[in-house]
Amino acid sequence: MNCLQNLLKEPPIVGSRSMRRPSPLNLAMVRGGSRRSNTVKTTQPPGASTSGAESSALEVGTEKSEVYSTNMTHAMGAALTYRHELGMNYNFIRPDLIVGSCLQSPLDVDKLRKIGVKTIFCLQQDSDLEYFGVDICAIQDYSLKFEDIEHCRAEIRDFDAFDLRLRLPAVVSKLHKLVNCNGGVTYIHCTAGLGRAPAVALAYMFWILGYSLNEGHQLLQSKRACFPKLEAIKLATADILTGLSKNTITLKWEDDSCSSVEISGLDIGWGQRIPLTYDKEKGAWFLEKELPEGRYEYKYIVDGKWLCNEHENITKPNADGHVNNYIQVCRDGTSDDEKELRERLTGPDPNLRDEERLMIREYLEQYVDAEH
């Protein structure tokens, strides 16, 4: 089975030399510890007062955290809270691996150096940093002053399981090489350290360190309350070993009285929309789109109102009682072996055989500098 060449090309990793995918390949749990997060915040000297400007900035930061937490809860399907104004927080998952929230100033670099961090691995996009006013250039420039720590960015869109799925091979490849080069402790962070960062850490544990997915997930959850998208990791694993093929789907909204129909979800996330095209002869709105195989949730926006199509598959209600439409995209011409492998890797208890983990490791190690 040799379908690795069918994987999509990924955007370059920011803050390092761009990467390209390799040529096709042939076919200890740590002792339990506290789940309490380490929070690092700036403190004032005794007797110092807080100015009006500082109080106002704190109020703005609190409000932004509340908005971010609300959006995160809705997008991730779990009650999650992030308080940016309280400072950087993190947990040791293993003695050599930390998952946490974003650095907020160059001073955080010093704090991480003191606990043995050799690699800071940032998954945030520029828009994430701008939202909370983080000066990433100052943090990067300060890191360059030291030989015992390296700062690297590998962007993944926030709240987007599809982008996570596509980006995981490139991101974990970069992470694996940095860990091999720098040693010591690795600090993986996104904005809150609750979605992207734990997912990347878990994929690294699954693909490289030899954990089963469920074993790694249990360890992760025992150390840090978080919500990595397991389905994205499962699909990315299957994509590496069986290839990533696409198929065309058609979605339809029957209504000739509305003025606009859009769709959100699918592979674009819930923050974007795709307009449907009206067919006057059929009196209905249509969208044709190519999607990689997998399960996708979506919802229609009809004249500004979010609606499900009762003629298409509908999910079970989540904890908040919300439902979405969903579609299962399958590839054409799948062999029985590929189908069995994909079903096993995307099932409830996926595990990698020794030869499969070796293939993934070799695949990740064969990323090369695009300039060379």
Residue 49 has pLDDT above 60, yes or no: no
pLDDT higher for 256 or 12? 256
pLDDT digits (tens, 9 = 90+) for 64-111: 999 999 988 877 778 889 999 999 999 999 999 999 999 999 999 999
pLDDT digits (tens, 9 = 90+) for 168-195: 999 999 999 999 999 999 999 999 999 9
**pLDDT value at position 319?**
73
Reply yes or no on whether 102 is catalytic.
no
Domains of the chain, CATH where assigned: 75-240+358-366 (3.90.190.10), 246-329 (2.60.40.10)
- Indicate the DSSP class of residue 195: S
**pLDDT value at position 227?**
95
Of 186, 104, 195, 196, which is closest to residue 155 (Cα–Cα)? 196
Q: Give the rounded percent of residues in the chain with a pLDDT score beyond 90.
A: 71
**pLDDT value at position 115?**
98
**pLDDT value at position 357?**
98
- SS3 (DSSP) at 262: strand
* Sheet strands (E) in the chain: 19-20, 38-40, 88-94, 97-100, 117-122, 150-153, 185-189, 246-254, 261-265, 269-275, 277-279, 284-292, 294-302, 305-307, 325-329, 368-369
**pLDDT value at position 57?**
55
**pLDDT value at position 53?**
47
**Lowest-confidence segment of 101-115, 190-204, 270-284 by average pLDDT:** 270-284
d(CA 188, CA 129): 15
Q: Classify strands 261-265 and 294-302 as parallel, antiparallel or unpaired.
A: antiparallel
Sign of CA dihedral 300, 305, 311, 315: positive
**Lowest-confidence segment of 46-50, 95-99, 141-145, 217-221 by average pLDDT:** 46-50
**pLDDT value at position 83?**
97
- SS3 (DSSP) at 225: coil
**pLDDT value at position 2?**
38
Amino acid in position 137 = C
pLDDT digits (tens, 9 = 90+) for 302-317: 999 999 999 999 999 9
**Lowest-confidence segment of 9-13, 242-246, 257-261, 294-298 by average pLDDT:** 9-13
Of 264, 312, 261, 257, which is closest to residue 286 (Cα–Cα)? 261
Query: Which residue of the set 102, 190, 226, 308 is catalytic?
Result: 190
**pLDDT value at position 84?**
97
Residue 50 has pLDDT above 80, yes or no: no
**pLDDT value at position 75?**
77
pTM equals 0.81
pLDDT digits (tens, 9 = 90+) for 113-132: 999 999 999 999 999 999 99
pLDDT digits (tens, 9 = 90+) for 123-160: 999 999 999 999 999 999 999 999 999 999 999 999 99
Please, which pLDDT band fits residue 29 given cuts at 50, 70 and 90?
very low
**Lowest-confidence segment of 9-13, 46-50, 139-143, 175-179 by average pLDDT:** 9-13
